[in-house]
């Protein structure tokens, strides 16, 4: 399956590239096509914007095992293409749950469950 779109500055093409989707981009302006080609050849460091809902932390993660599973899944499912936001997400998580006395020792959170490098 292919997505066809007017290429513009290549944002949608970049998203398709990162999500391993096929794309056919067209445009009447050669400059946009060339700009997109260059953009797609550059190294990807993460999307430059993020939906704020992706870094929200639920208030009801009272069981530590469920909380750890939630964080692991949230990173793997929603933040994998926004690696630069993982630290922000984890900071908010630790702040919220240490403030609520839900985490006995925030230094002992089993972060080895999370592979931030992949």
pLDDT of 3-48, one tens digit each? 667 888 888 898 888 888 898 888 999 999 999 999 999 988 776 6
**Whole-angstrom distance, CA of residue 54 vs CA of residue 73:** 12
pLDDT of 59 reads 86
> What phi and psi values does residue 37 have, to the nearest 5 degrees?
-55, -45
Cβ proximity of 6 and 26 under 8 Å: yes
pLDDT value at residue 49: 65
> What pLDDT score does 15 carry?
85
pLDDT at residue 101, as a whole number: 52
106 has pLDDT over 50: no
* Domain parsing of the chain, residue ranges: 2-41, 52-113
Cα–Cα distances in Å, from 26 out to 14, 30, 70?
14, 9, 40
Per the prediction, the chain carries an average pLDDT of: 79
Task: Say whether pLDDT at 107 is over 90.
Answer: no
């Amino acid at each position: 399956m292919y997505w066809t779109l007017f290429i513009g500055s290549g944002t949608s093409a970049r998203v398709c590239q990162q999500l391993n989707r096929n794309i056919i981009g067209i445009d009447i302006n050669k400059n946009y096509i060339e700009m997109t080609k260059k953009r797609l050849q550059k190294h990807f460091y993460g999307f430059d914007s993020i939906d704020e809902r992706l870094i929200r932390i639920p208030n009801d993660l009272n069981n530590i095992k469920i909380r750890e599973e939630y964080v692991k899944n949230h990173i793997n499912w929603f933040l994998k293409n926004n690696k630069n936001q993982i630290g922000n997400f984890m900071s908010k998580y630790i702040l919220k749950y240490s403030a609520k006395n839900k985490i006995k020792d925030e230094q002992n959170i089993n972060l080895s469950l999370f592979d931030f490098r992949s």
